A = this chain, B = another copy of it.
Amino acid sequence: MIQVIEIEWSQTEKQIARQAFDKAYDREIRALIKEVQQQASQITELENLWLLHDFLSARRHEIDGKYDYRYSSLIFVFALLIKEGWLHKDELEGLNPDKRAKVAALSRM
């Protein structure tokens, strides 16, 4: 397993990480808002309201778990966000090459 738990983050890296993290979150939530708006606008059957609620509950749970801003988790978080398309690897420019290589390797798994 790739050793990432004890990585040090410089002040500059923390700023870059925070910006990248927030940018990905913003993108994912905005996409979700669009999807919810579309689903809501198409509800005609009563039970579809509860399906929309179930959908939102599941997505919220998943998103809450995924956006874990602990320095011991960030490498994994960034790898997943890149894999899912919410973050581009270029947006981690300024992190040290070792961190970026680990993120890139994990994002291909």
A29 CB, nearest partner CB in chain B, Å:
5
Chain copies in complex:
2
Closest to A30 in B: B46
Cβ contact within 8 Å between B52 and A56: yes
Closest to A56 in B: B53
A37 CB, nearest partner CB in chain B, Å:
5
Cβ contact within 8 Å between A33 and B49: yes
A-B interface, 7 closest residue pairs, ranked by CB to CB distance from nearest: A40-B40, A29-B46, A53-B56, A37-B40, A33-B43, A33-B49, A36-B40
Question: Residues of A with Cβ closer than 8 Å to B?
Answer: 25-26, 29-30, 32-33, 36-37, 40-41, 43, 46, 49-50, 52-53, 56-57, 60
